[in-house]
Amino acid sequence: MGTADSGTMKDPSTKTELPSVVIRLAGDSGDGMQLTGTQFTTSTALSGHDLATLPDFPAEIRAPAGTMNGVSGYQIQFAGTDVHTPGDSPDVLVAMNPAALRANVGDLVRNALVLVNVDSFKPKDLAKAGYENNPLEDGSLSGYRVIEVELTRLTRQAVDDLGLDTRSADRCKNFFALGMMFWLFERPMEPTEKWLREKFANRELILEANLRALKAGWAYCEATEVFAERYVVPRAAAEPGTYRNISGNTATALGLLAAAERSDLQLFYGSYPITPASDVLHEVAKYKEFGAVSFQAEDEISAVAAAIGASYAGSLGTTCTSGPGMALKAEAMGLATMVELPLVVCNIQRGGPSTGLPTKTEQADLLQSLFGRPSETPTPVVAAATPSDCFAMAYEAARIAVRSMTPVIFLSDGYLANGAEPWRIPNVEDLPDIPVPQPNPENFLPYLREPETLARPWARPGTPGMEHRVGGLEKEDGTGNVSYTAENHERMVHLRAEKIQKIADYIPEQSVDGPDSGELLVVGWGSTYGAITGAVEHARREGLSVSHAHIRYLNPFPKNLGDVLSSYRKVLIPEMNLGQLALLLRGMYGIETESFTKVQGKPFTEAEVFTKIREMAS
Amino acid sequence: MATTLTNKDFKSDQEVRWCPGCGDYAILNSVQNVFPKLGIPREKFVVVSGIGCASRFPYYMDTYGFHTIHGRAPAVATGVKMANPELSVWVVSGDGDALSIGGNHLIHAMRRNVDIKVLMFNNRIYGLTKGQASPASELGKKTKSTPMGSADAPFNPLAIALGANARFVARSVDIMAGHLRVVLEAAARHKGSAFVEIFQNCNIFNDKAFDAWTEKDVRDDRMVSLDPGEPIVFGKEKNRGIALDCLEPKVVSFDGDVPDEVLRWDPSRTDPTLSFMMAHLDDRPNFPLPIGIFRQVDEPTYEQRVHEQIETAQSKRGKGDLQGLLASGNTWVV
């Protein structure tokens, strides 16, 4: 078998143009499907397509091989126009074993292309997956175009003369499959080749084996006409600029760093490992040349407490966690509210309660974010709408925290955290300014407030003449001295609430996509953005009048939100919880809402939201 | 420093509000006497506390101060020190705050060797919540929460600190001002995590808890001070010493010169075995209770290591360029 080059070989097959494609790669959690998906994504992004991705992996690192519990999947949608979600139903499934087929075949579109590794469909593999009959033989896949490939045997052959043991040779088969996908969709292989050369720079044999498997996959398609046709997806016409592909967690880390740089503060990031937030810690830990201090704490409480200590000392204190960790941080967040120090708490939400679904997505921590601390503890809350929006909103969280001297909660979720999309790289100088409340040396009091924001001054230890004490006890405004009097407490409770409300003076007003009044407004927050946007566009193509407002500032709400909501006859609120935003909006604005909920650990599909819109609009 | 500081410079304008006769007053006084001697400008001191009677301490010190939440002071202090290693960071805590709710933060701050000084006021009782047994209360102690006597065995605070690899471990007593100042000053001058247990009398809920050791007439016979470089000798007549009998300590009596077999105390041994032995010395009948410096080992601090990594990264890769970082990896132009 010869090697192939993406640019030089003659194209033997016909090409079909498609507006968009959804591919799902599935295999055992040890099969490297996340890696394969990431490589396909990079290549697709560099081809200039818009895309969205969704990894879906089990909570167990290595569940028993070949079983349904061990299936790990990676889905990508790419297209020539705006892609809002990783897609509802895959057009192509790559199944490395029977369990991967069984777990995913129900989601496919009719007549989907199904590529299976036929070498792993032996009776014991079928039994592990719970198949009584071989689905490749019993006619149950007749609605699909099944491509049977001897992935294991062909990969072993491709690396035959390298002298690898069978296990190492078999580990290359995901790259064989990737080579086939690259051929099918005419993706360049160079980025993956470059990645392999860097990754295995010191492991020549493994490098060579993976390169051969990759190229062999391509060549196999070229030589055998295993696929009847190739697919071409026209490129996106995106806004001019420089782009990169970015996941939500990377964007979150970069947003925090950018805010620290722009406010000229040292970034302090305290964190305790937790799925799906750990990647933010891994990312910040790389930013040492920026002076960023990352602190892997002994627990969630220490992570937030150290961040508060760092803020007291003059750094931008930040911490990141998921649901169980948020519960543990609640008391310390109350302290930050009381001592009025900047603090960003990122919550990468996952399915709960308790340990729940650690690797699955949910957005059920909204009410906890607003109210999940004892007493009157007003806390600003912002939420990212897409993976790349995590950059903007993490930055906003830090901007609000510093400007108003307050803890701020930034909400993302597992879907945004691990999902990725192209991001137009912003110009650092164009990012909003972050004013830091400075103490006045002539007239210093620790709780003397700026009238505009009610922020107190940030006097850092080490500054002569401004020695002062802060603490969790109720205090007198101005001096900060401990005070237990009844009138003072009531005054301080109102003051702290007013300070948070004043943030509405400097955040953007609520924007609406679509007519600014009418029959139906779909209101969302967080990661439902993609599905709602796609569904609303679909509805408009069908002639329905529907608008979409996506709320990124959840406390305080934008000033005009009440007016926006009251401009439509019906308000539909899709949420991945049991109606938490709906409850808030009904309570705050006294409006009727239609709550549409899904709590399956999976995001809404466009079709689900569209169906609901059609039902309400007609 | 332009001017010499005195203890008055460290007294805040807040009225001190502990119960009359509380041991905290004496400790506050000692700290306010030691701070001016350290050659550190006042604005560089940060006193961090948790919750409990002892934790009101920062309000009475005219330094930067942070009264945080129950048990978390070592974690907050770790953040302060990492953010600004130039600061002299002190944690004031009690036996409930440090050993119970905050036990995890205490041990991790110690093992990391964060350069913070933890003063644990040990009164063997919960005072602020009005008299429940603490993790330092002795077995069988009758309190409001343990009317038939405490059923849970106490911690040995020094053994906890040693077990967590605290590089500086010491013990002193509220009413022994001279001794306490020496210990506090040594803790302050030590670079790295320091844990100082201070016996503190709670005259309301656990009065005379330490009298059996610390009263003037028994003190010399019932306590022994571990002083670096000095033989471990005690007794009114200074005629008894601690020696080793294989793996066990023994008390030797002597007349005149201190015999060679009496241990000459060296807290700088990296191996904590002897320090542990001293922490448990008084578990044995008729052995004195040691105070003084149990361990003092020099090692690079956590914040030093953290900031060295930052410096290394900056010297290798240059100061970070944010625009470059945002545009790193595979990019494409539209």
Write the DSSP string, A201-217: TT-HHHHHHHHHHHHHH
- The pLDDT assigned to A61 comes to 67
Coarse DSSP helix, strand, coil percentages of chain B, rounded to the nearest 5 percent: 35, 20, 45
CA angle centred on A507, ends A506 and A511, rounded to 5°: 135
Contacts of residue A265, Cβ cutoff 8 Å, sequence gap at least 6: A314, A315, A316, A402, A436
Q: Assign A13 a pLDDT band (cuts: 50, 70, 90).
A: low
- Estimate to the nearest angstrom the gap between the alpha carbon of B244 and the chain centroid: 27
A-contacting residues of B 101-120, CB under 8 Å?
Answer: 104-105, 108
3-state SS track over A288-311: HHHCCEEEECCCHHHHHHHHHHHH
Minimum-distance CB partner of A45 among B75, B320, B330: B330
To which H or E segment does residue A533 belong? helix A529-541
Domains and CATH numbers, chain A: 14-232 (3.40.920.10), 240-507 (3.40.50.970), 518-617 (3.40.50.920)
- The pLDDT assigned to A9 comes to 43
To which H or E segment does residue B79 belong? helix B73-83
Minimum-distance CB partner of A289 among B65, B105, B319: B319
Q: Any chain A CB within 8 A of the CB of B323?
A: yes
Which residue has better confidence, A3 or A303?
Answer: A303
Task: Verify whether the Cβ–Cβ distance B79 to A460 is below 8 Å.
Answer: no
Distance from CA of A571 to the nearest CA of B (A): 37
Q: What is the mean pLDDT of residues A114-134?
A: 95
- For residue A399, give the 3-state DSSP assignment: helix
* Residue A4 pLDDT exceeds 70: no
- The pLDDT assigned to A1 comes to 29
pLDDT tens string A560-605: 999 999 999 999 999 999 999 999 999 999 999 999 999 999 999 9
CA angle centred on B293, ends B287 and B297, rounded to 5°: 130
Distance from CA of B242 to the nearest CA of A (A): 38
Residue with tokens 């409990």: B52
Extended beta strands in chain B, E state: 45-49, 64-67, 88-94, 116-122, 168-173, 194-199, 223-226, 233-234, 240-245, 248-253, 289-296, 331-333
Helix extents (H) in A225-322: 248-262, 278-284, 300-312
* Residue A60 pLDDT exceeds 90: no
- Estimate to the nearest angstrom the gap between the alpha carbon of A101 and the chain centroid: 26
Q: Assign A11 a pLDDT band (cuts: 50, 70, 90).
A: low
Task: Verify whether the Cβ–Cβ distance A290 to B48 is below 8 Å.
Answer: no
- The pLDDT assigned to A29 comes to 80
pLDDT tens string A352-365: 999 999 999 999 99
- The pLDDT assigned to A10 comes to 43
Q: Assign A7 a pLDDT band (cuts: 50, 70, 90).
A: very low
Cβ-based contacts of A407 with chain B (< 8 Å): none
- Estimate to the nearest angstrom the gap between the alpha carbon of B37 and the chain centroid: 19
Minimum-distance CB partner of B79 among A268, A301, A339: A268
Q: Any chain A CB within 8 A of the CB of B148?
A: no
- For residue A121, give the 3-state DSSP assignment: coil
Mean pLDDT of successive 10-residue segments in chain B (334 residues)?
83 94 97 98 98 96 98 98 98 97 98 98 96 96 96 97 98 98 98 98 96 96 97 97 96 96 97 97 97 98 98 96 93 84
Record the tokens describing residue A135, joined without a space: 């689905």
Q: What is the mean pLDDT of residues A34-38?
A: 92
Task: Verify whether the Cβ–Cβ distance A291 to B310 is below 8 Å.
Answer: yes
Dihedrals phi, psi of A77, to nearest 5 degrees: -115, 130
Strand-by-strand arrangement of the A242-247 sheet:
A420-424, A242-247, B331-333
Q: Assign A12 a pLDDT band (cuts: 50, 70, 90).
A: low
Q: List the one residue out of A291, A278, A288, A366 whose CA is nearest residue A320.
A: A278
Record the tokens describing residue B71, joined without a space: 């048990």
Q: Any chain A CB within 8 A of the CB of B324?
A: no
pLDDT tens string A221-241: 988 888 888 999 988 677 889
Domain B1-209+300-334 has CATH 3.40.1280.10: no
Q: What is the mean pLDDT of residues A478-487?
A: 96
Q: Where are the domains of chain B?
A: 1-209+300-334, 225-288
Chain B CA closest to residue A291: B310
Task: Verify whether the Cβ–Cβ distance B68 to A243 is below 8 Å.
Answer: no
Cβ-based contacts of B334 with chain A (< 8 Å): 48, 238-243
Contacts of residue A249, Cβ cutoff 8 Å, sequence gap at least 6: A276, A277, A279, A280, A283, A348, A390, A412, A417, A418
* Residue A54 pLDDT exceeds 90: no
- Kind of pairing, strands B223-226 and B289-296? parallel
Record the tokens describing residue B17, joined without a space: 């509000």
- The pLDDT assigned to A5 comes to 40
- The pLDDT assigned to A452 comes to 96
- The pLDDT assigned to A47 comes to 85
Residue A62 to residues A27, A131, A277: CA-CA distances in angstroms? 12, 21, 20
Q: Is A152 left (phi over 0), alpha (psi -120 to 50) or beta?
A: alpha
Contact B52, B96 (CB under 8 A): yes
Contacts of residue A522, Cβ cutoff 8 Å, sequence gap at least 6: A532, A535, A536, A546, A547, A548, A549, A571, A572, A573, A574, A609, A613
- The pLDDT assigned to B1 comes to 45
Question: How many angstroms separate the most distant Cα atoms in chain B?
Answer: 93
- Kind of pairing, strands B331-333 and A71-79? unpaired
Most B-contacting residue of A82, A298, A421 (CB-CB within 10 A), to test interface: A298
* Residue A286 pLDDT exceeds 50: yes
Most B-contacting residue of A264, A290, A343, A421 (CB-CB within 10 A), to test interface: A290
